[in-house]
A and B are shown apart, each in its own frame.
Chain A
């Protein structure tokens, strides 16, 4: 008796699990179009994969875009450009890709996953992020080579690290960092926590944390400017929405959000 009841309970449990799984699949597959329609004819969800350094400005742009197109929902996945490119090439369901460097965009377009050619929408430059008030009096890259200075850089494999390497090479400065972070936000947070004395980050990232850090400009960063390309993806589930979002980023309204955050026009 007990065994039979146990058996049927298990069967019910298994059925529930299967139902639950298929339920998840449904909700993830369909970009549920919002009722009510909109003037622009764009509906549904637009999924944007964007570089970590775009987090703040794209969040703002996303809200503005949703306000301008009622019925549209923008969802973001922010991360290291290289990791995002890998995810896209592995079939992640994204509509738009905005990369912090052309190299990672090329990874995606070379794999045939881009739709049309990417357009550069902003440029970004490195600054030296130091704790608020610049306690060590850092004025340039050479200050970072002091023996007691702890410096965080991004790993060379990600765009901010590649740019940092370029800038350091241009300046002829040899630097031994204490850590090579996986993305620019990681490097910045080590400064905010006070664990390092300085980090090379994008100007825009330093500007998001003015309460904790100062951004020191240095001339050699001019030789290591990052172009940010954006593109609609070939397998975009919502192509119309993707195209509208890209157009919005490239529009004057979108640009003004980006320049306010410290990005430069291309």
Chain B
């Protein structure tokens, strides 16, 4: 195990202190099994022989397309509003910052159905803002694709904010200070120094946010309802399929799983590991 001089070996995993303690290895293995086994169960029970026909069913592709579109739009919304919010939380000292940070992360722990109810009470036809939107502009949000995007954004935004805030806190502020001393304004510093610096963090947050939006169920069904082609996303389709046909529910779940894993696996390593 002697490293040859002149050749660094950064790619080799460090294993300090010899053997991995069993007390860590066993629970880690159990944890991994617990997370992976249900996915294996899904694969084992998948009706592979009838898979092509089931995939070709018109409802499946409609729901998948809607899911991908709404999750992407929700992520765009989250980026537009979440990144500035994360910057505020990470860089500016203001009274009540802790409270704001707690409020921002509430949707993480809130049951999504509760989020849906809350959205209805604000943006619904009789809601605080929804009533005004309806009477002034004739805009109603529940039961529309826009409603789906809003529900997904509500649930997924904290994932982005947490990731971006973490990246901002981890980033070296000396570059920003240097830019400031060279005469750059706050906006220029933000766009030319801060953003590129934390781009990997933003990308990681966006992927997480997108994946969470893709899996959103509770807030969507509560706020946006369930109508094929308009508000019926994949998770809703899975739930409804379960009412009649376990096999189609499995197939739909498998598609959703494949899409999520593919995206997470392809981007995670590239964005998350290197700051």
Which residues of A come within 8 Å of B, CB atoms? 7-8, 10-11, 13-14, 17, 80, 82-83, 86, 90, 150, 152, 155, 157-158, 177-182, 186, 190, 193-195
Give the distance to chain B from A201, nearest Cβ to Cβ, in Å. 15
A131 CA to B228 CA, complexed, in Å: 26
Instruction: State the majority secondary structure of interface residues on A.
Output: mixed
- Which residue of chain B has the shortest Cβ distance to A7 in the bound complex? B23
Which residues of chain A have C-beta atoms less than 8 A from B240's C-beta? 155, 157, 182
Which residues of chain A have C-beta atoms less than 8 A from B221's C-beta? 182, 186
Within B226-243, which residues are at the interface with A (CB < 8 Å)?
A: 226-228, 231-232, 239-243
Known: A86-B242, A177-B227, A179-B226. 4 other contacts (CB 8 A): A13-B27, A14-B26, A17-B27, A195-B120
Which residues of chain A have C-beta atoms less than 8 A from B242's C-beta? 82-83, 86
17 residue pairs from A and B, CB less than 8 Å apart: A7-B24, A14-B26, A17-B27, A80-B243, A82-B244, A83-B243, A90-B246, A157-B240, A157-B243, A178-B225, A178-B227, A179-B227, A180-B226, A180-B228, A193-B120, A194-B126, A195-B125
Specify which of A7, A14, A182 is in contact with B243 (CB 8 Å cutoff).
Answer: A182
Which residues of chain A have C-beta atoms less than 8 A from B201's C-beta? none
Give the distance to chain B from A168, nearest Cβ to Cβ, in Å. 16
Report yes or no: B120 in contact with A179, Cβ–Cβ below 8 A: no
Q: Given A82-B243, A158-B243, A10 and B24 touching (CB < 8 A)?
A: yes
Chain B interface residue number, banded: 20 to 34
Report yes or no: A157 in contact with B226, Cβ–Cβ below 8 A: no
Give the distance to chain B from A242, nearest Cβ to Cβ, in Å. 24
A8 CA to B24 CA, complexed, in Å: 10
Give the distance to chain B from A112, nearest Cβ to Cβ, in Å. 16
Which residues of chain A have C-beta atoms less than 8 A from B244's C-beta? 82, 157
Specify which of B23, B227, B243 is in contact with A11 (CB 8 Å cutoff).
Answer: B23
Which residues of B come within 8 Å of A, CB atoms? 21, 23-24, 26-27, 120, 124-126, 142-143, 221, 225-228, 231-232, 239-244, 246
Which residues of chain B have C-beta atoms less than 8 A from A80's C-beta? 243
Q: Given A179-B226, A195-B125, A7 and B21 touching (CB < 8 A)?
A: yes
Q: Given A10-B24, A14-B26, A152 and B225 touching (CB < 8 A)?
A: yes
A182 CA to B238 CA, complexed, in Å: 12
Which residues of chain B have C-beta atoms less than 8 A from A7's C-beta? 21, 23-24
Report yes or no: B225 in contact with A181, Cβ–Cβ below 8 A: yes
Give the distance to chain A from B31, nearest Cβ to Cβ, in Å. 10
Which residues of chain B have C-beta atoms less than 8 A from A152's C-beta? 225
Which residues of chain B have C-beta atoms less than 8 A from A158's C-beta? 243
A151 CA to B197 CA, complexed, in Å: 50
Which residues of chain A have C-beta atoms less than 8 A from B228's C-beta? 180
Which residues of chain B have C-beta atoms less than 8 A from A177's C-beta? 227
Report yes or no: A10 in contact with B23, Cβ–Cβ below 8 A: yes
A103 CA to B27 CA, complexed, in Å: 45
- Which residue of chain B has the shortest Cβ distance to A178 in the bound complex? B143
Report yes or no: B239 in contact with A182, Cβ–Cβ below 8 A: yes
- Which residue of chain B has the shortest Cβ distance to A103 in the bound complex? B244
Give the distance to chain A from B242, nearest Cβ to Cβ, in Å. 6
Specify which of B21, B26, B225 is in contact with A190 (CB 8 Å cutoff).
Answer: B225
A68 CA to B98 CA, complexed, in Å: 55
A190 CA to B223 CA, complexed, in Å: 10
Q: Given A86-B243, A194-B124, A195-B124, A180 and B26 touching (CB < 8 A)?
A: no
Which residues of chain B have C-beta atoms less than 8 A from A182's C-beta? 221, 226, 239-240, 243
